[in-house]
Structures are given as C-alpha cells and as structure tokens.
Amino acid sequence: MERELAKNKEELQKTKETLKETHNKLVGREKSLVKISEKFSSAKENLDSVSENKLHSDIELTRLKPKLEELKAKFIEANDNISKLMSELTFSTEKTSEMEQTIKFKEKAIENHKNDLEKRKKEIDILNEVVKSNQKGTDELIDKIKSLETKLSEVRSTPKVLERIKEMMVHKGFLSDKELEDIFKEFD
C-alpha cells in the first residue's frame, strides 16, 4: 500500500505538473485569444472602413464615368485635329521647301544678273573712256577745222583784200596803216 501510495503521490505530482503546464498553456492561449479578438475587431473595423471607402469610390467612379467618356471623345477629336495639323504642316513644309528652292534659283539668277551688270558697267566704263578719248580727238579736229576755216576764209578774202588795196592805190597812189586796218576789218 505504501508503494501504491508513493506511486499515487508520484502520479499526483506528475498530474499537478501536467495540470500546471496545461494551466500555463491555457493562460497563454487565453492571452493569444484576447489578442486575436482585438485583431479581429480591428480587422472588422478596417473592413468596414474599406467597405465604406469602396462605396464612396464606386459612387465617385459612377460620377466620373461620363466625364471620362467626354474626355475620351475630346481626346479622339484632338487626335484628329493633330492629324490634320500634321498633314497641313507637311504640306506647308513641302511648300516652304519649294519656295526656298525658287528663292535660291532667283538669288542665283540675280547673282548672274549682277555679274552681267558688273561686266556691262566695265564695258560701259571702257566705252566711256573711248568716247572721252574720241571726244578729245574730235575736239582737236574741230579746232583744226575751225583754224583751217579761218585760214580758208582769210585765203578767200585775200584776193578781195588785194583787189581793194589795188583800188585804193590806183585812186590815191598810197595806203595808210589805218586804211589797211579798215580793209582787213571789212573782210573779217
């Protein structure tokens, strides 16, 4: 019986230790359960908040859908306008390129005309020099002709002067210097 009692005591001791362990585990689990409950409550609050936010988001989405459709339509219209403008820009660029080519051609023509004009100017300057030189020669020839005409007129008037002098000599027999000058003036 003593052995049994000792055995029972030993089992009782083991059972106490097991019971104590189980009690400690239960206390730990109770604490975990309280934490889990708190987390669950917090999660439920978060879920409620998320549900409320989702409801607000759905309302806002419903409100914004027409605006989105309107913006899509405007976007398509803007793309069409951009395409038209790009087409016009391409056309304008081609026209500009053509005009630039025309301008370059005209500038080249102007440059050629300028060069021609410069050549003509030089030719005119040379011709002017020739004309001046010829004018000088012509002036000299005119002076010579005048001189010759004067001499010719003197030569033509010489027989008349001589005739007159003879007449005066026949009438008077002599001639004074004054009378001779008068005769020369008469035939000048």
pTM, two decimals, is 0.35
| CB of 168 closer than 8 Å to CB of 146 | no
Q: How far apart are CA 142 and CA 134, in angstroms?
A: 12
Q: How far apart are CA 147 and CA 140, in angstroms?
A: 10
The string of pLDDT tens digits covering residues 139-183 is 989 999 988 888 777 666 667 767 777 777 778 777 778 887 877
Q: How far apart are CA 46 and CA 106, in angstroms?
A: 80
| Domain residue ranges of the chain, discontinuous segments joined by + | 2-187
Q: Determine whether 183 is exposed, middle or buried from the number of CB atoms within 10 Å of its CB (0-12, 13-18, 19+).
A: buried
The string of pLDDT tens digits covering residues 66-109 is 998 999 999 999 999 999 999 999 999 999 999 999 999 999 99
